[in-house]
Chains A and B, each alone.
Chain A
Amino acid sequence: MSKEEIKGRKKADILQGTLDLMVLKTLDVLGPLHGYGIARRIEQISDSVLQLNEGTVYTALLRLEQQGWIRSEWGASENNRRARFYSISPGGRKQLARETQEWELMAGVIGRVLQVRR
C-alpha cells in the first residue's frame, strides 16, 4: 500500500468490535456522557480519520448496557434537551482493563509481525 492511497482514502472504517472498547474507554476517562458527547470525543481523538455512523454508538451502548458494563440515567443536555447519560460500572472497568491488555498484546504482536523485513 502506497502513501498516496492512504491520503486519498480520507477515512478508515472502524475495526469490528473496537467501537465498544472506545466507548468504554471514553466513559472511563470522561465520566458520565451522552451519546452525542461520546461521538464528539471519538471524532476529536481520532482526528476525524474514522468513518463513524454516529447512530452505531447507540448500538454499542445498548450492547454494553445489556452486558452490565455501563449504566445510564436521564439528564439535561447542553441545549436543555432531555438526554441519556451513560457511565461505566465497576464490572465495566474490569472489562476495560481486560480488553485493553488484550488489545495491547494483539497490537504488539501484529506490530512485530509487520516489522519483520525480508
Chain B
Amino acid sequence: MGRLRAIAAKLRNFFTGSLAEPDFDEEARTHLALLAERFTRQGMTPEAASAQARRQFGNTTSLKESRHDMRTFAWIERLGQDLRHGARLLRLNPVFSAVAIISLGLGIGANTAIFQLLDAVRLRTLPVKNPNELAQIRLAGGNQGMGVNTQYGDLTRPMWEELHRQQKAFSGIFAWAVNDDVVGSGSQLEHVNGLYVSGDLFQVLGVESWRGRLVIPEDEHACPATTAVVSYAYWQTKMGRREIDSSAKLLIDGQLMQVTGVTPPGFLGLAVGDHFDIILPFCKPKELMRSLFDVTVMGRLRAGVSLPGASAELAALSPGIMAATEITGYSSESVARYRRFRLAAYPAGAGVSSLREEYDSSLWLLLGVTGLVLLIACANLANLILARASAREREVGVRLALGASRGRLLSQLLTENVLLAMVGAALGIGIAQVVSRALVWSLSTESRAVLLPMAIDWRVLAFAAAVTTLTCLAFGTIPMLRSARLQPLSALRAGGRGMTASRERFSLQRALVVTQISVSLVLLVGALLFVRSFHKLLTFDPGMREEGVTAAFVGFQQSNIPRERYLQFQQQLVEEVLAVPGVHSAATTTHPPLLGGSWTHSIQIGPAHGDSKFTWVGPDYFATMGIPLLRGRGFSATDTADAMRVAVVNETFVRQYAGGGDPIGMAMRTDQEPGYPSTVYTIVGVIPDSKYACLRCGTPPMTFAPAFQCPAPRPRTAILIHSSLPPDVIVNRVKRLLAERHPEMAAQVSSFRTLIRDGLVRDRLMAMLSGFFGLLAAMLAMAGLYGVVSYMTARRRNEIGIRIALGARRGQVIGMVMREAAWMVLAGVIAGTLLALLAGRAAATLLFDLKPYDVPTLAAAGGLLAGIAVLASFLPARRASRLDPMQALRCD
C-alpha cells in the first residue's frame, strides 16, 4: 500500500515537473538558523555556531540529490540523457548511421513483410464473433477421390442435411460452397465470384449486415433461389452504393433476384485470400446430387464441448449419416468404402484457404531466409560497431577514468544500440507495408485474384519487436562486452600502435566474417536451387505443344441449347474458331492438360484392374497439341456416338496394363459411375508419355476418347487452338468472334502458356525472392569481408610500412593480406556447404527435378562466392601494397 502511494507520488512529481524544492530549502534554512541560535546561546561566536550547525545538519547537496531520486524516477532521466547522447552520436556519424539504419530497416522490413503474409494467410482469425469457437467438419482422411470435388468441397449436400438435423456438439452449424455466377445478360454479362450458403450462416458467424438484411433460414426454399446478398465491394463498385430496397434486383444466372442486403466491408468470406461478390442462399432441388462433394461445413462449438469431444460425437453419428446419404450408381466396393467414411471436427478459427496449403511451407522457408539475411546484416553491423568502438576507446577510457561506473557505461551503449534498432525497426515496418502488398499482388493471376487485407495487427508488431530485440542483441552484445572490459589506462596511453594487442579483436571479427560467408553460401545455394528449378519448369518439355496454343473456356448454360445437342454445339464452336484467320487447327477437350483438372475412371483390362485418367477430345486434338502417334491411329470425324467406342492410350498405360506389348485392339472396360455407364473401349492408338494435371505431377496411365462418344456432355468445354500468330492477336480475335456470335455465352480466352505460368506463381515467387535474398546476402557478406580486411590492414599500417621499408615487394604484401582473407573464405565456404546440405531438406519438396544436394549448384555457389571474395579482399590488399612506408611510419 505504502509503496503504491510512493509510486503515485513519484508519478505526480514526474508529470507536474516540480523537481526544484523551494520548500525543502526553506525548511533547511529554518533548521540551520535554529541550530545556530542554539549554539550561540551555548556561547559560540556566530561564525562558529553557523559552521557547527552546517556540520550537524550534513551535506545539503547530497541530501537534495537523494531527495530528488526519491521524488522521481531517476532512471527515466538517465535514459533521457542516454537517448540524447545516442542521438547526438548518430547525427555526428551520418554515414555510419545511414548504413546501419538502412541495413537494419531492410532486414527487419523483409522479415516483417514475410511474416505479415504468413499472419494474413495462416495466423489471423476470421473477422467474426469468437472465431476460436469455429470448427470445420470434414471426412477424416478425405473422400479418397470419390465422386466430384469442387474447390473447398468437403461434404455432399445430403451429408450436410443429415448433419444439420442430427448433430448436438455445435450450438449452430452452417455450410457454404463456391460457384462462378454470371450477372446480367447479353453484352452486359459479367462473371462474379459467388458463394452459396445455408440459411443460418450469418447468424452462427455473428456477422451483422451493413445494409438491409443478410441470408436467413427462410431464404432456403425450393429452387431456384430468389434472393441474394452482395459484398460491400460489389455494392460499392457495381451497384453505386444504391439504396437496398424492393427495386434492388440483379439478374443472376438468368434469374431475377431480389438483393436483400450488403455484407460488412471486413467480411470477405471464409476462404482466406479469396473473396466473393454475391451470396445466394442454398435452394432445395428435387433431388440432391449424392456424389458431388461441394460444400464446406463449419460450426460453432457448444460451450464446454472440446474439439475431440465434437469429433467423438461426429464419429458416432457417421455410420448413420453415411447409410442415409449413400452414393448410388457406384460399384459395391466404392459403396462399402463410402460407408466407412468418418466425420471429424478440425479447428477453423482462421478459416480455410487454398493459399495456405499452397504457400505455407514456402512462406516459412522465406521467413528463415530473411532471418538469415538479417543475421548477416547484424554481423556487418557488429563489425562496424566494433571498428567504431576502437575509435571510441579513448572516450570510454576517459569516462571510466573520471569515475563513470561500468554499468552506467553499458546502459549508455545499450541505449545507443536500442536507438539504432528502433529507428531501423520503424523504417522496416514502413518498408514491410510496401513489400507485403507487392508480394500479395504478385500472387494474383489472370484467373485468380488474391485479396489479402494487409494489416498491422498486434502479432505483426510483436513480431517486429521480437526481431528488433534479437537484432539488437545480435549486433550489440559483443561490442558492448568488449567496451565494458576496457582498461582505462591502456586506452588512454597515447597512440596505441595496435599490432599484437588487437589480436583478439581480429579473431572475433574474423569469426563474424566466416559466419557471414557460410550463411550467405547457404542462401546462395538455396537461391540457385530455386532459380534452376524454376528455369527447369519453364523449359521443361511436357510432351506437347505449349507455344502457339490458345485456350478458350466457354460455358453455354445461358444459350438454351438442349442437352442432346451439347456435343454438336461444341463442334460448331470449333468450326467457327477454325474460320478465324491464322488458326491452324482446334479441338475441344473435357480436361485441358497441365491446368490442374483431373478425371479418373476405374478400369478393367484383361485380368488387370486399376485406374486411368480419361479425357474426351475432338478429332484434331493430337495435331493441335503436337502430340505424335507412336502406333495405330488418332481420332477422326467418323468416331461418332454410333460408332465403336475407341481409345488412345499413353505409354505408361501400355507398360502398366499391356505388359509393354502391343495394345492395339485390346479392350478395356470402365466401372460404372453416375452418368458414366460401364463401357468397353477398344484401344486404337498409342501416344508418348506427356504430363497430365501439372508439370510437377508424374505421368499416370492416360486414356483419350473421342469427344462425340462422351457419355456425359456438359454445357461447357475447353477449346485448344493452334496458331502461329502472336498470342495476344489470336486471343483477341477469338474473344471478339465469340462475343459477336454468342454474346450470352461465358468465354475466357488466354494463351495456354500464360495459364501454365500462372500455375507456377509459387515457383516464380520462390525463385525471385530467394534469388534476390541470396544476392543480397552475398553482397552483404562481401561488404563485411571488405570492411574487415580494410580495417585489419589499416590497423597494421606501421607493420606493413616497415615490411615495405625493409624491402617487401608489392606482390608479397598483396599475397600476405589475401592469404588471410582466403583462410576466412575457405572456412566460410566449408561451413556453409555443410549447413547448406543440412538446410536443403527444407527445400526438397518445393524443388522440381532437382535434389537439394545438387553438386553443380553447390560448386557454382562456392565458386561465385570465392570469386567475389577475391575481389573484395584484393582492393584493400592493393591499397596496402601502395603504402608509402615513410608516411605510414611517421603518423601513429
Interface residues, chain A, CB within 8 Å of chain B?
Answer: 34-36, 39, 53-56, 58-59, 62-63, 66-69, 77-79, 81-84, 91, 95
Contact = CB atoms under 8 A, between A and B. Distances in A.
Contacts of A58: 24, 27-28, 31, 63, 67
A68 B12 CA distance: 14
B23 interface: yes
Contact of A67 (B3, B30, B60, B66): B3
B94 interface: no
Nearest to B6: A66
Given A54-B31, A54-B56, A95-B2, A59 B37 contact: no
B888 interface: no
Contacts of B71: 62, 66
A62 B34 CA distance: 20
B5 A68 contact: yes
A69 B2 contact: yes
Contact of A66 (B1, B24, B70): B70
Given A62-B71, A79-B37, A81-B33, 15 more contacts: A34-B31, A36-B30, A53-B58, A58-B27, A58-B28, A59-B66, A62-B67, A66-B5, A66-B70, A67-B2, A69-B2, A83-B27, A84-B23, A84-B27, A95-B2
Interface in B52-80: 56-60, 63, 66-67, 70-71
B35 interface: yes
A3 B864 CA distance: 86
A4 to B, nearest CB: 27
A56 B66 CA distance: 10
Nearest to B60: A55
B26 interface: yes
Contacts of A81: 29-30, 33-34
A86 B71 CA distance: 18
A34 to B, nearest CB: 7
A39 B53 CA distance: 12
Which of B24, B57, B71 has the most CB atoms of chain A within a 10 A radius of its CB?
B57
A53 B60 CA distance: 10
Contacts of A34: 27, 30-31
A77 B31 CA distance: 10
Contacts of B28: 55, 58
11 contacts: A36-B31, A53-B57, A56-B63, A58-B28, A62-B67, A68-B2, A79-B34, A79-B37, A81-B33, A84-B27, A95-B2
A78 B66 contact: no
A58 B60 CA distance: 11
Nearest to B33: A81
A95 B3 CA distance: 13
Contact of B30 (A53, A69, A77, A91): A77
B644 interface: no
Interface string B839-861: 00000000000000000000000
Nearest to B26: A82
Given A62-B70, A69-B2, A95-B2, A55 B30 contact: no
B9 interface: yes
B57 A55 contact: yes
A63 B31 CA distance: 19
Which of A54, A82, A91 has the most CB atoms of chain B within a 10 A radius of its CB?
A54
Contact of B33 (A39, A53, A79): A79
Contacts of A83: 27, 30
A67 B10 CA distance: 11
Contacts of A56: 58, 63
Contacts of A68: 1-2, 5
Given A54-B35, A67-B6, A78-B34, A59 B70 contact: yes
Interface string B1-43: 1110110011000000000000110111111011101000000
Contacts of B10: 66
A68 B2 CA distance: 7
Nearest to B38: A40
Contacts of B24: 58
B66 to A, nearest CB: 6
B30 A59 contact: no
A91 B28 CA distance: 27
Nearest to B71: A62
Contacts of B5: 66-68
Nearest to B62: A55
A95 B5 CA distance: 14
Contacts of B2: 67-69, 95
B368 to A, nearest CB: 52
B38 to A, nearest CB: 9
Contacts of A82: 26, 30
A118 to B, nearest CB: 42
A59 to B, nearest CB: 6
Contacts of B3: 67
A79 B37 CA distance: 9
B33 A59 contact: no
A52 to B, nearest CB: 8
A79 B66 CA distance: 29
A35 B67 contact: no
Contacts of B1: 68, 91
Which of A59, A66, A68, A69 has the most CB atoms of chain B within a 10 A radius of its CB?
A66
Which of A55, A77, A91, A95 has the most CB atoms of chain B within a 10 A radius of its CB?
A55
Which of A34, A58, A68, A81 has the most CB atoms of chain B within a 10 A radius of its CB?
A58
A55 B57 CA distance: 5
A10 to B, nearest CB: 14
A43 B26 CA distance: 22
B596 to A, nearest CB: 73
Nearest to A64: B2
Contacts of A84: 23, 26-27
A91 B5 CA distance: 12
B272 to A, nearest CB: 54
Nearest to A82: B26
Interface string B271-291: 000000000000000000000
Contacts of B56: 53-54
B9 A59 contact: no
B40 to A, nearest CB: 12
Contact of B31 (A35, A66, A78): A35
Nearest to A84: B27
A59 B67 CA distance: 6
A11 to B, nearest CB: 12
A66 B3 CA distance: 8
A81 B70 CA distance: 27
B34 A54 contact: no
Contacts of B26: 82, 84
Contacts of A54: 31, 35, 56-58
Q: Name the 6 nearest CB pairs between A and B, nearest first.
A: A53-B58, A67-B2, A55-B58, A66-B6, A66-B9, A55-B63
A58 B21 CA distance: 12
A56 B24 CA distance: 12
B71 to A, nearest CB: 7
A55 B59 contact: yes
Nearest to A57: B31
A59 B21 CA distance: 13
A36 B67 contact: no
Contact of A36 (B6, B34, B63, B70): B34
A23 to B, nearest CB: 14
A35 B23 CA distance: 13
A59 B71 CA distance: 10
Nearest to B56: A54
Contact of A39 (B31, B37, B67): B31
A96 to B, nearest CB: 12
A66 B59 CA distance: 22
A58 B32 CA distance: 13
A68 B24 CA distance: 18
Nearest to A65: B9
Contacts of A78: 34
Contacts of A55: 28, 31, 57-60, 63
Nearest to A83: B30
A106 B643 CA distance: 112
